[in-house]
Structure 1
Amino acid sequence: MSKYIFSAFLVAVLLTACGSVTPGGLIAASRLDPLETSPSDIIVAVSVPEALRLRDGDAVFRLGFIPEDQSVAEPIDAVVPLTILDGITKPRSAQSGEAIFILGFSAQDAAEIAAVQEQIKTIRAQGVDGSGSLGITIESGCYTSELGDSLEVSTWLRTAPADNFVLLNRSVNLFDVLPPEGRAQLEAKLNRC
């Protein structure tokens, strides 16, 4: 796939605010070819407050493409749940008051992402210009004690089994960066464990 595809895709990790994205995270995102990277090679690490528990499906992966001319192709917006993975070394040890979860795709969800990748490649091969997006969001979770006004989140990405995790964003209070309606929706889906 050409470098044009790299630049055609806006890698937007939705957990971050612009000021919290690390230089290494930007480099890792620029190296990720969302149409050629095997979904089974995409592993995400998410740091959250120790009181928050993530389960299968509490975080989701989005892959999309919006054609410039929507009369020639429909927009694509695939949302696939992420699954908690065991047996993968975390990017670092959890700090006091923090939990780190490792997430990836089930075989079925990896196949769905692969099908979406092929769909986007087919559209692009037809000469359709547009912009792509890739994102990771926390949609829900459960808590063991009240979170208060803070939901500090950091994310890491690994795109090949032999690679190390790369820090995408420094800790950011998700409650502060979400618009009020987004915060209200997330808070409604955070329940006591």
Structure 2
Amino acid sequence: MDGLIVYGSKYGTTRRYAEELSRLTGLSAIPCGEFHRLAEGSILVYLGALYAGGVLGLKQTMKVLSLREGQRLIVATVGLADPGEPQNRAHILVSLKRQMSPELFSQAIFFHLRGGIDYAVLSPRHRAMMAAMCFSLRSKPARQRSGEDQALLETYGKQVDFTDFSALVPIADEILRG
């Protein structure tokens, strides 16, 4: 199969998912900064980390992408929020729509993976954003917090990793079915 896995990762979780998906499918995996174009008859798989309403590197990658007949696009997001929650998936799709052309968005197949966070290695900007989010959540009455809100507060400042390589199996199956 002729295709490529492109990923946008800042702290390494998305890169680890991309490398494992590469192992499962035989497709090469490269960072989004190295992507220039997609060869004919190919599949492009984009894995991107979710950050404050955006998917790392997705917009830049989609700018240089135009799918030809027979080419497929799979987009998988990696984030801290549980993608099993419908409201989280809805927020992710809104973010994806903002970063992709309507044509590419309508042609893409989407998957959502759970990542992790290690506050010890966060950039000052990301650390400040998480502190502000937790401050906002603490000001909410406890009965109005979602389970996810509560989990974020309980794990604030710690290292948590929800990486689950078995969640790559449906993506690998979709890649290999073509």
Higher relative contact order (CA 8 A, sep 6+): 1
Do these two structures clear the TM 0.5 threshold for a shared fold by scoring above it?
no
Q: With structure 1 as the length reference, what TM-score do the two structures score?
A: 0.29
Choose between structure 1 and 2: higher strand proportion.
1
